[in-house]
C-alpha cells in the first residue's frame, strides 16, 4: 500500500506564473543611499584621499623650502646619476646587440638613380693572398684567426707591394710599442764643451834669479821651495871679489872728484865726474841694489857682501842655493812663479775640435771653492794631436788677483763655443749606427716606415746636423726605432723567401 503522503511529495509542483525566467529585463534592486556621497564614492575613501593630498602638500612645501631646496636638488642629482650608472651596462649591451644585428643583416638601401653615362666604375675587389700576425711576420695562415699573442691576423692583399726597407705597422701596434716621431727642422746649433782641466802657473811669469859675477853665498834669507816672496824681498847675500873691487873703484872716484872740486881746470872736473858715473853704472849692471850704491856713496864704506833681491812677487818653485856654495855667472839659483795669472790645460776630443776657437769664453769651478765660478778665455790651441789619447791640448787663462787658485789643482771647465752652424737637424735618438752606415726611420704619410741612410754633420745640444738624405718637414722616428729597423730587415728577408718559395698550403695553413 502506498503512502499517499510520499507520493504527493514526489509530484512536481507547478511553477508560478510570475517566475524570473519569463522576465527579459529584470529590475535591479537599488540599495539605499545611506553612507555614500552623491558621486557614489564611500565617505572613508574621500577622507583618506584628502589626508594624502594634505601630506603630499606638506612634504612638497618642506622639500622646496629655501633651507632644504639645495639638498633636495642634490639628492635628485645623485639619484639621476646613480640611475644612469646602473643603466650603463644594459645600454652598452643593447648597443652591442644592435650593432651586431646590423652587421649581420645590413639594411639594403635603394640604389640611387644615376644616369647610365654618369655611373662610376666599380672598384675591383682585392684578392687576399694570406693572413699574417701583426707582430710576427713569420706566422702565416691562409684564413683569418688569432696569432700566438692573441691578436687578430692581418690580411695581405695581392699587389700590395712595398719598397725594400719599408714596413707597415697598424695604428694599434704603433701605439702599443710607443712610437714617437719628430719633424726634420732647420735650426742653429751651439755647443758647450765640458772637460776637466789642470791648473798650472803662467810660464811667462816665471822669473829666474842668478848672479852676473862669480862668488860665494854668505847667507840665505829664502831657504826652502814654496816660500812666498814679495817684490824686492832679500833672497841672499853674496861675496864677490869683483863687486868688492868695483866698490873700491867707486870710492876712489868719489875722492878724486872731491879733490878737483875747486880746480880751475874744467876738463879735470869733467873726467872725475865721468869716472865716478862709469863705476856707478858698472855696479848697477852687476844688479847691485840701488840702496847699497847710495849707501856706499854716502858713507864711502866698502861692504863685503852684496844683496840679491826678488824681481817679483810669487812663490819659489825651484831653489839651488845653499849657504857657502860657490856660484858662477848665469847659474840659476832661484825660480819664482808669479800666480797673478793662472793657466788651465785641458784635453779636447777630436769630434769637439770644430767648435774650438781662440778667444772663446770659458767657465771653471773647483771642489775647493763650491758654488763659485771663475771666468777666463781660450788663449792657445795646440797645433798637434796627442797620438796616444787622440786629444788636443787647449790652454785657457784665468785671472787670479787673490792668489786663491793653486797650481796642480783640478777643475771642471765649460767652454762656451761662439761657433754657430745652421742647417737641417734631427734628434740624437733618431740615429741608428750600423757599422758602415748611418740610418734613420722615416714615417711616411701612408702609414709606412722607411729605413733611410743619411750623412750627418756636427753634433751639439742633443741634435745631429743632416748633410744628406732628408728633407725639411719629414718625420723621423725617435723612439722604438730599433724595433722598426729589425722588423724591416726581417720582413725584407721573408719577402725574398716568399718570392722563392711556394704559396702557403690550404691544408696546413703554414708556409712551406
Q: Give the global pTM.
A: 0.51
Angle in degrees, CA 6, 12, 17, rounded to 5 = 145
The predicted structure's pLDDT at residue 155:
84
State the architecture of 163-188+422-500 in CATH terms: Beta Barrel (2.40)
The predicted structure's pLDDT at residue 167:
63
The predicted structure's pLDDT at residue 497:
45
The predicted structure's pLDDT at residue 166:
61
Q: Encode burial over 483-505: b for 16+ CB neighbours within 10 A, e otherwise.
A: bbbebbeebbebeeebeeeeebe
Taking phi over 0 as left and psi of -120 to 50 as alpha, with beta for the rest, 226 belongs to left
- Mean pLDDT, contiguous 10-residue spans, the chain (512 residues): 45 45 47 47 80 80 69 74 72 74 54 50 69 74 86 76 57 70 85 92 91 91 91 92 90 85 77 86 88 88 89 91 90 91 94 88 91 93 91 94 90 84 85 81 76 84 87 84 57 50 45 40
Name which of 233, 336, 245, 253 is nearest 286 in CA terms: 245
Residue 107 parent element (H or E): none
The whole-angstrom separation of Cα 307 and Cα 450 is 84
Task: Map grid coordinates 816672496 to a residue.
Answer: 229
The fold of 192-201+338-420 is Elongation Factor Tu (Ef-tu); domain 3 (2.40.30)
Enumerate the domain spans of the chain: 163-188+422-500, 192-201+338-420, 213-332
Beta strands in 369-420 (DSSP E): 374-385, 391-399, 410-416
Q: What are phi and psi of 41, to 5 degrees?
A: -80, 145
The predicted structure's pLDDT at residue 274:
87
Strand order in the sheet with 154-157: 140-141, 128-132, 154-157
Angle in degrees, CA 168, 171, 174, rounded to 5 = 80
Amino acid at each position: 500500500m502506498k503512502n499517499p503522503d510520499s507520493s504527493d511529495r514526489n509530484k512536481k509542483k507547478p511553477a508560478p506564473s510570475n517566475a524570473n525566467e519569463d522576465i527579459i529585463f529584470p529590475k535591479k534592486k537599488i540599495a539605499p543611499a545611506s553612507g555614500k556621497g552623491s558621486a557614489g564614492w564611500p565617505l572613508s575613501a574621500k577622507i583618506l584621499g584628502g589626508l594624502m593630498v594634505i601630506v603630499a602638500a606638506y612634504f612638497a612645501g618642506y622639500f622646496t623650502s629655501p633651507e632644504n631646496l639645495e639638498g633636495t636638488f642634490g639628492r635628485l642629482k645623485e639619484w639621476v646619476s646613480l640611475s644612469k650608472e646602473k643603466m650603463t651596462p644594459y645600454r652598452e649591451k643593447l648597443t652591442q646587440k644592435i650593432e651586431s644585428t646590423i652587421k649581420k643583416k645590413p639594411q639594403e638601401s635603394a640604389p640611387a638613380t644615376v644616369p647610365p653615362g654618369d655611373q662610376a666604375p666599380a672598384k675591383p675587389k682585392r684578392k687576399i693572398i694570406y693572413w699574417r700576425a701583426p707582430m710576427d711576420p713569420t706566422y702565416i695562415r691562409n684564413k683569418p684567426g688569432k696569432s700566438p699573442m692573441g691578436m687578430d691576423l692581418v690580411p695581405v692583399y695581392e699587389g700590395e707591394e712595398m719598397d725594400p726597407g719599408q714596413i707597415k705597422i697598424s695604428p694599434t701596434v704603433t701605439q702599443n710599442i710607443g712610437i714617437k716621431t719628430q719633424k726634420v727642422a732647420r735650426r742653429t746649433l751651439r755647443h758647450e764643451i765640458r772637460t776637466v782641466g789642470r791648473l798650472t802657473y803662467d810660464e811667462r811669469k816665471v822669473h829666474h834669479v842668478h848672479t852676473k859675477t862669480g862668488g860665494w853665498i854668505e847667507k840665505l834669507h829664502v831657504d826652502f821651495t814654496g816660500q812666498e816672496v814679495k817684490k824686492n824681498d832679500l833672497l841672499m847675500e853674496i861675496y864677490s871679489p869683483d863687486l868688492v873691487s868695483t866698490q873700491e873703484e867707486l870710492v876712489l872716484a868719489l875722492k878724486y872728484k872731491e879733490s878737483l872740486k875747486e880746480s880751475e881746470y874744467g876738463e879735470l872736473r869733467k873726467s872725475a865726474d865721468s869716472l865716478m858715473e862709469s863705476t856707478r853704472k858698472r855696479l848697477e849692471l852687476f844688479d847691485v841694489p840701488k840702496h847699497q850704491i847710495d849707501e856706499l856713496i854716502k858713507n864711502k864704506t866698502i861692504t863685503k857682501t852684496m844683496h840679491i833681491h826678488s824681481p817679483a812677487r810669487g812663490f819659489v818653485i825651484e831653489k839651488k842655493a845653499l849657504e857657502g856654495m860657490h856660484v858662477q855667472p848665469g847659474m840659476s839659483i832661484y825660480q819664482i812663479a808669479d800666480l797673478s795669472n793662472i793657466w788651465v790645460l785641458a784635453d779636447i776630443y777630436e769630434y769637439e775640435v770644430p767648435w774650438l776657437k781662440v778667444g772663446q769664453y770659458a767657465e771653471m769651478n773647483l771642489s775647493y771653492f763650491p758654488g763659485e765660478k771663475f771666468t777666463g778665455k781660450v788663449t792657445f790651441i795646440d797645433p798637434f794631436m796627442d797620438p796616444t789619447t787622440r786629444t788636443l791640448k787647449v790652454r785657457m787663462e784665468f785671472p787670479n788677483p787673490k792668489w786663491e787658485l793653486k797650481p796642480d789643482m783640478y777643475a771642471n771647465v765649460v767652454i762656451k763655443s761662439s761657433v754657430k752652424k745652421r742647417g737641417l737637424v734631427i734628434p740624437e735618438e733618431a740615429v741608428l749606427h750600423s757599422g758602415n752606415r748611418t740610418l734613420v726611420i722615416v714615417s711616411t704619410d701612408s702609414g709606412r716606415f722607411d729605413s733611410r741612410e743619411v750623412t750627418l754633420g756636427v753634433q751639439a745640444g742633443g741634435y745631429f746636423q743632416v748633410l744628406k738624405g732628408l728633407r725639411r718637414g719629414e718625420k723621423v722616428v725617435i723612439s722604438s726605432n730599433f724595433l722598426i729597423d729589425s722588423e724591416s730587415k726581417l720582413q725584407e728577408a721573408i719577402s725574398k723567401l716568399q718570392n722563392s718559395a711556394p704559396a702557403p698550403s690550404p691544408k696546413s695553413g703554414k708556409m712551406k
